[in-house]
Structure 1
């Protein structure tokens, strides 16, 4: 069963600091027509070039996801895309005056709050759906990400198993969820980015995070305590990894009906699964999945 597409009922706006590039950035979310999807617009560049938030335009970046088409490049897309997908906002023009979205407090909560305040409006068009019929797995070393057929109710179920290794200060943990807007806003959106204190010097040396401090994310000391902050959930790191997964899978550009389970996965593996699913859809391989209203055009070069 498909649902109607949606967009925002009004504009929404917020400002913040880019975690990686360090600039001040303003973001404006605007309503968009049916079938336009999520499109990022660089208002700071001549001609205001745009890039669709789809896997065909995804960049291979370390510790984050981004998209680029021509001069239009936007990084750290996962938290905004998770907020939109988690609230079931399908069509949105996202205007940004810099190359990277703001990191806020390391979660998607700030984006969710302004989007909820703007409201959601239904559109007179059905939402495209990809429904997985057979398990599909992508791997990288010890990490694995599998999309399997959904349960009998057809709802999307997500699972993340976090295992950073025996010497990492973040303990192994698990988070499972069925995604619905109210649950997403309450239980997933507030989960913040995390890092081991030992990883910070290398990031600083690379020029990243110069305006980020312990209040903007969870910094785990070698003994497992959190520096200058308090966790919002016992398994907050696993919840944040699932948040990232929602944002990255939104690059499919349609709703995914599947049970998706990740073990030790990250942005690169999430993008690999998106590409695998889009390739299967382009082949029209109905033994693996069925698409309702999904384009079967091959991925763009």
Structure 2
């Protein structure tokens, strides 16, 4: 199976990478079931990458239906060490405008029905998650956005992403609550990915693409579906430019990440006590530690 060092997960509006060459689709049946869609392996800026449409290329998966464990496991299986996750978000701050880009460095978990760990079934691990984003990867993304000078795009480096369950959007009371917490953007997908990527020892960062203001904003009612879709499409074009340049930089220099050794002191269960079935299930996550 072809190996790719860099993985890309595309959110709402970003269902493919137009600049990919030598494209091949692969389906991986993981111990956690099928992935959201076929994984697209190709070459971008001379670098082997793998792309996955988070909601399926037909956008047929609700946030709660996304097979997060299968998606991250498949990325690990294909050799991914760095994972760029593009995500459409709503803004919780006046200064964070539609079409802006945010590189969050914190998350708040408001999900209810997600399995966000690979562990259990006879093995216990607790990864450190105080800093849930790979700073090295986030720094490269932020520097790329700054240097590209995309029209009508302002970069917000750092900030908190509230991950809600969905699929309904927030009530106004909830939206005002999140604003009182100092949160920056709100979405429905990236926290489970971040947790699982950390357990898989994959460096992870979110490229949050603002489509509109959340319902707290006095002009929210003037936002139309057509406006949001237009912003999604413009965000997708901008995101591809950012990702392509980030990949080019990684061709020249791949910064080490603390995430790459996240399990070193996290596993509490003695390996000889872990059931064989669980060892086999987690082979590509734990082979360094067996």
Higher-strand-fraction structure: 1
TM-score by length of 1: 0.29
TM-score (norm 2): 0.29
